[in-house]
Chains A and B, each alone.
Chain A
Amino acid sequence: MKRALLTLTALALLATTAQARSWDDIKKSGTVRIATEGAFPPFNILKGKELTGFEVELAEGLARQLGLKVQWVTQPFDNLLIGLNQDRYDFVIASHGITPERAKAVDFASPHYCTGGAIVAKPGGPMTAAALAGKKVAVQVGTTYLENVQKVSGVGEVKTFPKDTDAQAALMAGRVDAWVGDKFTGLDLVKAQKGKVMQGALLFNERIGMAVKKGNTGLLKELNSALTKSLSDGSYAKLSGKYFGQDVRCRG
Chain B
Amino acid sequence: MTARSPRAQPLGGGSLLLWIGGAVLAFLALFFLITVILRQMPDPIGPRADLFVEGARMTLQLTVVSGLIGLVVGMLTGIQKTSASAWVRAPANFFVWLVRGTPLLVQILFVYNALPPLLQSIGIGVQLNEFWSAVIALALNVGAYNAEVIRAGILAIPRGQTEAARSLGLSGAQTMNTVVLPQALRIVVPPLVNNLVALLKDSSLASSIALLELTLAGSRVSSESFQPIPVLTTVAVVYLALTTVMTLFTDQLEKRVKIASR
- The reply to whether A173 and B223 form a contact with Cβ atoms under 8 Å apart is no
The 10 closest A-B pairs by CB, nearest first: A142-B223, A78-B223, A105-B226, A159-B210, A161-B210, A82-B228, A81-B226, A82-B226, A160-B210, A141-B220
| Residues of B contacting A162 in the complex (Cβ-Cβ under 8 angstroms) | 207-208
From residue 149 to 167 of chain A, which have CB atoms closer than 8 A to chain B? 159-162, 166-167
From residue 120 to 147 of chain B, which have CB atoms closer than 8 A to chain A? 127, 129-130
Bound-state Cα–Cα, A44 to B94, Å: 42
Pick from A78, A82, A170: contact of B210, CB below 8 A.
A170
From residue 201 to 245 of chain B, which have CB atoms closer than 8 A to chain A? 207-208, 210, 212, 216, 219-220, 222-226, 228-229
Pick from A81, A161, A169, A175: contact of B127, CB below 8 A.
A175
**New contact pairs (17) apart from A142-B219, A161-B210, CB-CB < 8 Å:** A15-B229, A78-B219, A82-B222, A82-B223, A105-B226, A138-B210, A142-B223, A146-B220, A147-B224, A159-B130, A159-B212, A160-B210, A166-B210, A169-B113, A173-B113, A175-B127, A175-B129
- The reply to whether A160 and B228 form a contact with Cβ atoms under 8 Å apart is no
Q: Taking A141-B219, A161-B210, A166-B210 as contacts, is the C-beta distance between A174 and B127 under 8 angstroms?
A: yes
B220 to chain A, nearest CB (A): 6
Q: Decide if B116 is an interface residue (CB 8 Å cutoff).
A: yes
Interface flags for A63-105 (1: CB within 8 Å of B; 0: not) read 0000000000000011101100100000000000000011001
Q: How many residues of B contact A (CB 8 A)?
A: 20
Number of A-B contacts (CB under 8 A): 49
| Residues of A contacting B225 in the complex (Cβ-Cβ under 8 angstroms) | 101
| Residues of B contacting A101 in the complex (Cβ-Cβ under 8 angstroms) | 224-225
Bound-state Cα–Cα, A227 to B224, Å: 28
| Residues of A contacting B130 in the complex (Cβ-Cβ under 8 angstroms) | 159
Secondary structure dominating the interface of B = helix
Q: Which residue from chain A places its CB closest to the CB of B129 in the assembled complex?
A: A175
| Residues of B contacting A15 in the complex (Cβ-Cβ under 8 angstroms) | 229
Q: How many residues of A contact B (CB 8 A)?
A: 27
- The reply to whether B129 and A141 form a contact with Cβ atoms under 8 Å apart is no
| Residues of B contacting A147 in the complex (Cβ-Cβ under 8 angstroms) | 224
Please give the residue numbers on chain B whose beta carbons come within 8 Å of chain A beta carbons, in ascending order. 113, 116-117, 127, 129-130, 207-208, 210, 212, 216, 219-220, 222-226, 228-229
A180 to chain B, nearest CB (A): 14
| Residues of A contacting B113 in the complex (Cβ-Cβ under 8 angstroms) | 169, 173
B133 to chain A, nearest CB (A): 10
B210 to chain A, nearest CB (A): 4
- The reply to whether B222 and A160 form a contact with Cβ atoms under 8 Å apart is no
Bound-state Cα–Cα, A102 to B223, Å: 10
Pairs across A and B, CB under 8 Å, 19 listed: A15-B229, A81-B226, A82-B226, A82-B228, A85-B226, A105-B226, A141-B216, A141-B220, A141-B223, A142-B219, A142-B224, A160-B212, A160-B216, A160-B220, A162-B207, A162-B208, A170-B210, A175-B127, A175-B129
Q: Which residue from chain A places its CB closest to the CB of B208 in the assembled complex?
A: A162
Q: Which residue from chain A places its CB closest to the CB of B229 in the assembled complex?
A: A15
Bound-state Cα–Cα, A175 to B219, Å: 22
Pick from A77, A78, A159, A170: contact of B222, CB below 8 A.
A78
| Residues of A contacting B216 in the complex (Cβ-Cβ under 8 angstroms) | 141, 160
Q: Which residue from chain B places its CB closest to the CB of A101 in the assembled complex?
A: B224
| Residues of A contacting B207 in the complex (Cβ-Cβ under 8 angstroms) | 162
B132 to chain A, nearest CB (A): 12
Bound-state Cα–Cα, A148 to B80, Å: 53
Q: Which residue from chain B places its CB closest to the CB of A102 in the assembled complex?
A: B226
Bound-state Cα–Cα, A147 to B225, Å: 12
Bound-state Cα–Cα, A159 to B207, Å: 11
A71 to chain B, nearest CB (A): 23
| Residues of B contacting A146 in the complex (Cβ-Cβ under 8 angstroms) | 220
| Residues of B contacting A77 in the complex (Cβ-Cβ under 8 angstroms) | 223
Bound-state Cα–Cα, A71 to B114, Å: 36
| Residues of B contacting A85 in the complex (Cβ-Cβ under 8 angstroms) | 226
Bound-state Cα–Cα, A81 to B225, Å: 10
| Residues of B contacting A173 in the complex (Cβ-Cβ under 8 angstroms) | 113, 116-117
